[in-house]
């Protein structure tokens, strides 16, 4: 059995018993019931995910998958494709936004070359899992073969497994790939059935003319390839990207191992949609990190029925919103674990109870 099939088969329902115990404990803590709002719900969900009544998330890591896109040739990004490898080097030197924010929350940054179009120098911190020198231009031909799409998912699963084997107990998704908002928009349009114009935004900051071209390129690709909205592998192969496939794999891998996975912005959201078509139960293990400015992100969350934790007007990707949200997840668990109960603290309970 392939690693992909094995991983999908391993994804089970949430642990109801642990979630119920966490809910009961939340109601005994020294605060009016429900007064910590979404922090309470979050801690209960993380209990259900991990199967622990009082989970602690002490070793967070963000997996940043990098790859290039043939469709960049169509003039759909405000930046040239060589920025992808340049930013990977920036990640390795610790100078990118994701490095700063990950340091801020104490998360490890795992940088993976899954399909950058240039050869990168070997570096102790770079995970080299290059499957191809970028994808094909999907406005003309499928982005990749079905076999390559499956391999991209399996690279992601393997990266998640390796991190979890080292003790990582909270994962986040991040990416780098010039033109990947074009691939992400095509995926979101394909899977949600919404028109391309409704789910396509300005990415790195394109002007009106480029936005019109970007929408036309996506419409043309969807008409040409007719991806099956219920088959994430088909969508990924036809209009996706290697880093997006890798992230869908990270999500499936985390879900199979009962590790919460914080989803970053729009591009990570497209990976989450692919993962959800392959394993609907994986959605239970996803935590929506933040709401990206990128048009179409709301369509992702409404399809997955998830509510983002943060809304900071961010539109960068790399995992930046997700790592900030990780600290909210950790805070939610600390509240559940560390707060005193009414009985322990000798605080009177609500009248009449
Ligand atoms: C310097 C720089 C750093 C970035 N970090 C993330 N992205 C983000 O922008 C890209 C997607 O936007 P588009 O589809 O318009 O190319 C991705 O690489 C994404 O991660 C960056 C973009 C740039 C230019
Ligand atoms: O939300 C994102 O992931 C995003 C938005 C714009 C550009 N890059 C990434």
Quote the tokens at residue 348: 């009177």
What ipTM does the predicted assembly reach? Answer: 0.99
**Dist. CA 182–CA 210, nearest whole Å:** 11
* Residue 127 DSSP SS3: strand
Q: For residue 113, what are the β-bridge partners?
A: 66, 128
318: annotated active-site residue: yes
- Report the pocket of ligand 2 as residue ranges, CB < 6 Å: 181, 203-204, 264-267, 292, 294, 315-317
Domain residue spans of the chain:
3-55+337-345, 60-328
C-alpha distances (whole Å) from 344 to each of 103, 173, 350 are 36, 39, 15
For each of the chain's 353 residues, which pLDDT tens digit applies? 999 999 999 999 999 999 999 999 999 999 999 999 999 999 999 999 999 999 999 999 999 999 999 999 999 999 999 999 999 999 999 999 999 999 999 999 999 999 999 999 999 999 999 999 999 999 999 999 999 999 999 999 999 999 999 999 999 999 999 999 999 999 999 999 999 999 999 999 999 999 999 999 999 999 999 999 999 999 999 999 999 999 999 999 999 999 999 999 999 999 999 999 999 999 999 999 999 999 999 999 999 999 999 999 999 999 999 999 999 999 999 999 999 999 999 999 999 85
The reply to whether domains 3-55+337-345 and 60-328 share a CATH topology is no
Instruction: Report d(CA 320, CA 18) in Å as an integer.
Output: 30
What pLDDT shows up at residue 124?
A: 96
Neighbours of 352 (CB within 10 A): 4
Model pLDDT, residue 353: 58
**Spacing of C-alpha 164 from chain mean position:** 16
Pick the CATH number of 3-55+337-345 from 1.10.1610.10, 2.60.40.740, 1.10.240.10, 3.40.50.1370: 1.10.1610.10
- pLDDT on residue 352: 83
Using the atom order of ligand 1, give the atom closest to the CA of residue 79: 24
**Three-state DSSP class for residue 108:** strand
Residues 97 and 318 sit within 8 Å (Cβ to Cβ): yes
Ligand 1, atom 10, residue with closest C-alpha: 178
CATH architecture for residues 60-328: 3-Layer(aba) Sandwich (3.40)
CA atoms within 13 A on the CB side of 85: 14
Please report which helix (H) or strand (E) contains residue 113, including its range.
strand 108-115
Q: What is the pTM of this model?
A: 0.99
């Amino acid at each position: 059995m392939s690693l992909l099939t094995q991983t999908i088969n391993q994804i089970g329902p949430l642990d109801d018993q642990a979630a119920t115990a966490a809910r009961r404990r939340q109601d005994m803590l020294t605060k009016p019931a429900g007064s910590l709002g979404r922090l309470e719900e979050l801690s209960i969900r993380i209990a259900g995910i991990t199967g622990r009544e009082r989970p602690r998330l002490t070793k967070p890591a963000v997996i940043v998958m990098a790859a290039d896109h043939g469709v960049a040739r169509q003039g759909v990004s405000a930046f040239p494709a060589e920025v992808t490898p340049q930013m990977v080097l920036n990640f390795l030197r610790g100078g990118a936004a994701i490095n700063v924010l990950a340091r801020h929350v104490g998360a490890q940054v795992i940088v993976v070359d899954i399909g950058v179009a240039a050869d990168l120098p070997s570096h102790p911190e770079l995970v080299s899992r290059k499957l191809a020198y970028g994808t094909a231009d999907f406005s003309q031909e499928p982005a990749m073969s079905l076999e390559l799409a499956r391999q991209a998912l399996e690279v992601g699963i393997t990266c998640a497994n390796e991190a979890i084997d080292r003790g990582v107990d909270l994962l986040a998704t991040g990416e780098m790939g010039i033109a990947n908002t074009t691939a992400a928009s095509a995926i979101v349009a394909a899977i949600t059935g919404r028109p391309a114009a409704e789910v396509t935004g300005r990415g790195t900051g394109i002007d009106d003319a480029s936005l019109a071209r970007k929408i036309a390129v996506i419409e043309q690709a969807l008409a040409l390839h007719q991806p099956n909205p219920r088959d994430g592998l088909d969508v990924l192969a036809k209009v996706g990207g290697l880093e997006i496939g890798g992230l869908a794999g990270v999500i499936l891998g985390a879900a199979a191992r009962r590790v919460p996975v914080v989803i970053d912005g729009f591009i990570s959201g497209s990976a989450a949609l692919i993962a959800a078509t392959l394993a609907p139960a994986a959605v239970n293990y996803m935590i929506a990190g933040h709401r990206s400015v990128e048009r179409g992100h709301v369509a992702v969350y409404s399809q997955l029925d998830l509510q983002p934790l943060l809304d900071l007007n961010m539109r960068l990707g790399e995992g930046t919103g997700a790592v900030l949200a990780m600290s909210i997840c950790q805070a939610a668990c600390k509240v559940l674990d560390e707060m005193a109960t009414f009985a322990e603290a000798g605080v009177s309970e609500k009248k009449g109870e």
